């Protein structure tokens, strides 16, 4: 079976290469439809690599998207899946549950997550949301404020170290010519209300931009209400002729996020709005306060560019669950320094990074949703990640270049203070991650091949949770290690752009979650998995004001060895497709967005399957100019799940009692108004 699949993929591989060599000439300019925003493809720097790589020079799979003003107005996204379903490689499932957040996988990595994100890096406005142990919490992101998205679709351990099976880089920074002040508000189904205010201005040589938002919903399901406050403020200022300083602060408060739990297959079909009774009885949910600050200083020397950045995070969480209440207070941060040499006959970057994480964890019994007096776990958890890295790119000719990189990471986990003095309280990990890339430039398109690696250590939560209980860290689980080989072509021909990639990955020492009855989830290493896939992204901009985007994604991910040998990886859809059509007659814009997800398994035994589903969404907005001096108004309407399809938007992998399924919402709408002052 495996040999047959590999032979078929090899055929696709060689057909793909043949097509790449007869590809039509591609225009060098990339034009983003909408408000006359035009940028040169070769000059767009890929922020997700934290280096000087540009889109045209990147020997790797990547997706780059700039949202125009019409899209920003008509798509006030509440979750990140609304922005990414036409992007190859990434699969974000909206769990309809703000206490858990979205499920995010890139090429199947991150599938095991029970809450938040695992296995991939997420960066917001230059501040890593992924902390030292590899945990990523996406509550800080207001999707409606995201202006630019970059996605590295393959392992990126060379750039980011731990938990870098892919990189999602998000920017909320408005374009310099964006409105000075902008308000947007809307209401919708499930008593949803959203208010937003955005600022973009300059005072002398200092640029100021930011936003503040309020969001509240009762949720589609019972016991799924949420309330969030988000805010961000950024300052940029040149401090000399060659130096530039920037600082960014952000805050998210979530005083309410109810947790409805997951359902059996029958309940998800018959009573999808119901919550799990034990979750309601114990008032399961989550409250958080999180603040972040990030600073950066860039200085241009005659020999190169020095880039120094630092970031800090404070997070306070109370998480009542059926088996108890988890309280966590976290201080995390880091500093990173790189030097990019410019006067050499090749590109060379060297750097170092330090990340720290300090968690105070307290787990007690649950008394009506509040912490009780029975302490089951009380300990301090410290993580330190030290790293050195380097990358070089050598031009062999005007068209051909070779690049290589490597990064060494040392991770140290400690529990200096614990109720159990005999707890096994330390773990140390070391990882070396090389990469090697080839790029052939056809002047108007690029063919690439790339070998890359990454590793993913268990998080503190995964190390703490053990079947036997107790303090300290689990001594029996090890990090995952990923090896990847990919090749592809991307380019543009007048109004048509394309992106094709073929890849294969091997993940060793795969971490598998197992949920106990009315208890936490613990993990164990279980052999390896093999991932093979094809990714296609197409875009077409016509002269008739019609824009079209299409994504096709095929992924085969299977266990190789261990108890689940030959089984499909759960939580990962083998086939996905996404399409969007925008029609812009005059000042109006009409949009149809569609997505199709194939069936996929919900457990490692492959005994439960989430059914395939297709969704269609509609959006409309109109730009009303010159209603008053120096201002515009955009009313908008959005209807999601237009045909009222019954489906499960996500699964809780390997849940106890066959409660795998998390129902998606029925047909729902949003209507509102955006006011922009220039």
626-655 pLDDT, tens digit each: 666 778 899 999 999 999 999 999 999 988
Higher-pLDDT residue of 411 and 515 is 411
Q: Say if residues 307 and 327 touch (Cβ distance below 8 Å).
A: no
Stretch 295-324: mean pLDDT: 94
Whole-number pLDDT of residue 19: 36
Query: pLDDT tier at 11 (50, 70, 90 boundaries)?
Result: very low
Closest CA relative to residue 362, chosen from 301, 287, 417: 417
pTM of the predicted structure, to 2 decimals: 0.89
Q: How far is CA 68 from the centre of its chain?
A: 20
Report how many domains make up the chain.
Answer: 1
Please give the Cα distance from 435 to 403 (Å, whole number). 8
Closest CA relative to residue 516, chosen from 570, 462, 461, 465: 465
Stretch 391-417: mean pLDDT: 91
Residue 67's contacts (CB-CB under 8 Å, 6 or more residues apart) are: 75, 83, 146, 147, 148, 149
Tokens of 653: 């992998």
What average pLDDT does the structure give for the chain? Answer: 87
- Is the model's pLDDT at 286 over the cut of 70? yes
Question: What are the C-alpha distances in Å from 121 to residues 105, 130, 616?
Answer: 11, 6, 30
Expressed as residue numbers, the domain containing 594 is: 2-677
CATH number assigned to the domain comprising residue 44: 2.40.170.20
Please give the Cα distance from 420 to 241 (Å, whole number). 57
Stretch 542-547: mean pLDDT: 80
Q: What is the pLDDT of residues 52-86, one digit of tens each?
A: 677 767 889 999 888 888 888 888 888 899 999 99
Whole-number pLDDT of residue 297: 95
Tokens of 151: 């996605």
Question: What are the C-alpha distances in Å from 112 to residues 5, 318, 370, 465?
Answer: 25, 23, 28, 15
Stretch 553-571: mean pLDDT: 93
3-state secondary structure 431-460: EEEEEEEEEEECCCEEEEEEEEEEEECCCH
């Amino acid at each position: 079976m495996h040999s047959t699949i590999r032979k078929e993929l090899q055929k696709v591989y060689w057909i793909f290469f043949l097509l790449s060599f007869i590809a039509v000439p591609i225009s060098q300019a990339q034009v983003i439809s909408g408000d006359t925003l035009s940028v040169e493809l070769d000059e767009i720097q890929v922020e997700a690599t934290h280096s000087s790589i540009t889109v045209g020079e990147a020997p790797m799979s990547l997706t780059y998207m700039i949202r125009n003003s019409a899209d920003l107005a008509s798509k006030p996204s509440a979750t990140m899946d609304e922005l990414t379903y036409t992007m190859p490689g990434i699969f974000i499932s909206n769990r309809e549950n703000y206490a858990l957040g979205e499920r995010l996988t890139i090429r199947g990595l991150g599938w095991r997550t029970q809450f938040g994100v695992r296995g991939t890096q997420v960066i917001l406005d230059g501040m890593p949301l992924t902390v030292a142990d590899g945990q990523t919490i996406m509550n800080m992101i207001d999707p409606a404020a995201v202006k630019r998205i970059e996605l590295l679709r393959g392992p990126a351990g060379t750039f980011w170290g731990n938990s870098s099976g892919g990189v999602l880089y998000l920017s909320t920074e408005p374009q310099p010519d964006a409105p000075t002040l902008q308000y947007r508000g809307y209401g919708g189904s499930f008593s949803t209300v959203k208010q937003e205010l955005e600022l973009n201005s300059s005072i002398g040589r200092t640029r100021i931009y930011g936003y503040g938002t309020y969001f509240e919903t009762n949720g589609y399901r019972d016991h799924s209400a949420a309330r969030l406050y988000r805010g961000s403020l950024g300052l940029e200022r040149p401090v000399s002729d060659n130096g530039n300083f920037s600082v960014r602060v952000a805050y998210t408060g979530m005083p309410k996020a109810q947790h409805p739990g997951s359902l059996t297959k029958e309940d998800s079909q018959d009573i999808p709005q119901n919550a799990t009774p034990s979750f309601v009885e114990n008032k399961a949910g989550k409250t958080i306060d999180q603040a972040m600050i990030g600073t950066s200083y860039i200085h241009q020397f005659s020999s190169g560019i020095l880039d120094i950045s630092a970031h800090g995070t404070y997070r306070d969480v109370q998480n009542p669950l059926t088996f108890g209440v988890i309280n966590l207070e976290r201080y995390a941060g880091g500093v990173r320094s790189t030097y990019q040499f410019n006067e050499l006959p090749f590109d060379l970057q060297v750097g170092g990074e330090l990340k720290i994480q300090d968690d105070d964890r307290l787990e007690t019994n649950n008394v009506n949703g509040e912490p009780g007096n029975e302490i089951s776990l009380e300990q301090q958890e410290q993580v330190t990640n030290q790293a050195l890295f380097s990358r070089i790119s050598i031009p062999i000719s005007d068209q051909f270049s070779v690049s290589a990189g490597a990064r060494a990471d040392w991770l140290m986990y400690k529990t200096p203070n614990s109720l159990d003095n005999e707890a096994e309280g330390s773990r140390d990990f070391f990882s070396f991650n090389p990469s090697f890339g080839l790029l052939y430039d056809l002047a108007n398109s690029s063919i690439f091949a790339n070998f890359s690696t990454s590793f993913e250590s268990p998080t503190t939560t995964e190390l703490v949770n053990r079947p036997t209980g107790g303090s300290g860290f689990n001594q029996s689980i090890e990090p995952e290690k990923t090896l990847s080989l990919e090749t592809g072509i991307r380019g543009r021909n007048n109004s048509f752009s394309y992106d094709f990639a073929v890849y294969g990955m091997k993940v060793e020492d795969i971490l598998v979650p197992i949920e106990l009855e009315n208890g936490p989830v613990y993990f164990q290493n279980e052999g390896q998995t093999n991932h093979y896939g094809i990714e296609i992204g197409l875009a077409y901009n016509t002269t008739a004001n019609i824009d079209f985007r299409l994504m096709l994604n095929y992924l085969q991910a299977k266990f190789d060895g261990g108890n689940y040998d030959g089984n499909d990886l759960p939580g990962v859809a083998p086939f996905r497709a996404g399409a969007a059509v925008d029609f812009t007659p005059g000042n109006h814009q009409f949009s149809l967005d569609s997505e199709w997800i194939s069936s996929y398994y919900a457990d490692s035994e492959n005994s439960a399957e989430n059914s395939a589903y297709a969704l269609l969404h509609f959006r409309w907005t109109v730009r009303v100019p010159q209603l008053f001096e120096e201002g515009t108004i955009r009313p908008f309407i959005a209807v999601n799940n237009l045909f009222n399809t019954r489906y499960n938007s996500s699964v809780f992998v390997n849940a106890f009692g066959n409660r795998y399924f998390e129902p998606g919402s029925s047909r729902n709408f949003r209507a509102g108004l955006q006011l922009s002052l220039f």
